[in-house]
Amino acid sequence: MPRMQTLPLKYGCNPNQPHAKITYAGPGDMPLAVVNGNPSYINALDALRAWRLVQDLKAVTHKPAAASFKHVSPTGAAVADSGALDPALVAVNFYPGTDRSPVAAAYAKARASDRGASFGDFIAVSEPVDESLAALIKPEVSDGIIAPAYEPAALELLKQKKSGKYVMMTMDPAHTDPPTESRVDMGLTLEQTANTLLPAADHLTRIVTDKKELPPAERETLLVLMTTLKHTQSNSVALGLAGHAIGIGAGQQSRIACTRLCCEKSARYLLKLHPKTVDLVARFKPDVKRADRVNALDAFVMWDELSKLERDHLRHQITGPVDPITPDEAAAYLADVSGLCCASDAFFPFRDNIDRLARAGVQTIAQAGGSVRDEDVIAAANEHRMTMAMTDVRLFLH
């Protein structure tokens, strides 16, 4: 007979909700454990959602995976690749050292997707936390991490965060979800079949555009994006590159709003790798704090949107003149990016989404299909010389 097991939580969604706990009545011991700190209800939700994502990413790609989560949606997700991290990515994110394990490199990419949104994130990784990953996490503002295990040196290093209160949790990788899931709202229990679908190459075979090319690297990126969207609050659209979700537009009521949001995030990510942005890294005044440097680089790539006051504030943090990226330079730089992919958690209802993705430099799209305007959307993709696969899979999450 399964026994009820309880894990107390710090408080609920807000401090004025003092009663919060996790209960488990499944077979065996509770698969979730707290290694350090005192997680809140939100921490636990982010941990569980993020854990599912990295486990699915590993299952889909067979690579170490990492995710940075905020408010039950990923700000970034990535799988490890075989090469070293882009030196520009390392520089503009102020990452320490050069020796990184595959799981540390995956998290470095995930965190870099949207540095502002990742401020105070909850981390999930598919592999045990090693010292390389712990050293990367230690200087970051982060609320906690969930992993299958911690190496002793990594555990001791992370225990130094937040005056010893940094939340560290483990989840048993062998634990599987039950066939149904439920939630209680207003005393009413809603129940549904668990979404066990894993994106696969078979979902990308129905290519409906004139352009049919789908290189292996772009196929993997589309699978990473589809898997990420499965664990992102709907509506959602994501852009990615080289196994890395670099722009996630989540939780918007209209799909074009999702599309605009992910395109804007993608452009900011890519322009932070521009040589002019990298040049600023070494020119911050010594008294400028790390978090302020991160914010300054985010502001720099949006120069045209800044007020005079904001521009003056940025200049005061830099030694020497500030040479902004001009609109023409930005357009040329973004146009030179190859392999940019997009996935949507449902169909695109209008061609305006495709037109916006084309302006962002997207060359490959995966979307569910099934709209009454599919032909209009396909025609738009053909006009922009894109490859578009219709997956026949919807990935809503609420």
What pLDDT sits at residue 1?
53
What pLDDT sits at residue 69?
97
Q: Which residues are tagged catalytic?
A: 70-71, 235, 398
What pLDDT sits at residue 390?
98
In this structure, the strands spanning 167-171 and 32-36 are antiparallel
Cα dist from 18 to 13, 21, 98, whole Å: 9, 10, 43
Element (H, E) at 291: helix 290-300
Residues 200/223, Cβ–Cβ less than 8 Å: yes
Residues 377/371, Cβ–Cβ less than 8 Å: yes
Q: End-to-end alpha-carbon separation of the chain, Å?
A: 32
Beta bridge partners of 284: 318
Cα dist from 103 to 68, 95, 185, whole Å: 13, 15, 37
Distance from C-alpha of 121 to C-alpha of 124, rounded to nearest angstrom: 10
What pLDDT sits at residue 325?
96
What pLDDT sits at residue 97?
76
Distance from C-alpha of 78 to C-alpha of 240, rounded to nearest angstrom: 9
| Total residue count of the chain as it appears in this document | 398
pLDDT tens track, the chain, 398 positions: 567 799 999 999 999 999 999 999 888 899 999 999 999 999 999 999 999 999 999 999 999 999 999 999 999 999 998 778 999 999 999 998 778 999 999 999 999 999 999 999 999 999 999 999 999 999 999 999 999 999 999 999 999 999 999 999 999 999 998 999 999 999 999 999 999 999 999 999 999 999 999 999 999 999 999 999 999 999 999 999 999 999 999 999 999 999 999 999 999 999 999 999 999 999 999 999 999 999 999 999 999 999 999 999 999 999 999 999 999 999 999 999 999 999 999 999 999 999 999 999 999 999 999 999 999 999 999 999 999 999 999 999 99
User: Considering the entire predicted model, what is its pTM?
Assistant: 0.96
Q: Within 13 Å of residue 126, how many CA atoms lie on the same side as its CB?
A: 25
Burial class (CB in 10 A: 0-12, 13-18, 19+), 17: exposed
